Amino acid sequence: MHSPSSRSALEDTPRDRPLTILVVDDVSDTRGMYGSYFAHVGASTIAARDGSEALEVIRRHRPDAVLMDLSMPRMTGWELLKALRAAPETADLPVVAISGYVAPGVQDAILNAGADLFLAKPCLPHVAFNFILQLIRRRNV
pLDDT recorded at residue 96: 98
Architecture of domain 18-140: 3-Layer(aba) Sandwich (3.40)
pLDDT recorded at residue 1: 44
Residue 32, number of CB atoms within 10 A of its CB: 14
pTM: 0.88
- Angle made by CA atoms 136, 74, 105, in degrees to the nearest 5: 60
Domain ranges in the chain are: 18-140
Cα gap 119→8, rounded to integer Å: 23
- Residues constituting the chain: 141
Low-confidence ranges of the chain (pLDDT < 50): 1-4, 8
Beta strands in the chain (DSSP E): 20-24, 44-48, 65-69, 95-99, 117-120
